[in-house]
Amino acid sequence: MTINTKNDYLSREFPMSDNDFAFIQTIAYNITGIKLREHKRDMIYGRLVRRLRSLKLQTFSQYCDLLKKENNTEHKEFVNAITTNLTSFFREPHHFEF
């Protein structure tokens, strides 16, 4: 497993600065109560990059600007993108192997 440094996020297809991730952490907490820690950064990048492509945006800064608008439909899309939408007790069977 490769551990990415914060600088790696600036050289990816869609640059995500520390400020972008901090904003995403804040808005995720404000909307859902979910606290996104630094170790979730790769997961969040992967899930939100689909939204950027769909919206034809070039950077996470542009996406953050969109999320700053209050009461917009992207808030729902954002929550759906960052959360796991499948809930079942045996969702991940490897936890129950003995």
Which of 3-12, 69-78, 82-91 shows the highest mean pLDDT?
Answer: 69-78
Q: What's 65's domain CATH number?
A: 1.10.155.10
Residue 81: inside a domain: yes
User: Residue with structure tokens 């759906």?
Assistant: 80
pLDDT tens across 4-62, in order? 555 566 677 888 999 999 999 999 999 999 999 999 999 999 999 999 999 999 999 99
* Integer Cα distance of 25 and 59 in angstroms: 17
Residues 19, 14: Cα–Cα separation, whole Å: 14
Q: Per the structure block, which two tokens stand in for 56?
A: 């034809």
| Count of domains observed in the chain | 1
Question: Is 51 within the bounds of a domain?
Answer: yes
Residue 47 structural domain: 14-96
Whole-prediction pTM: 0.76
Residue 5 main-chain phi, psi, to 5 deg: -90, 165
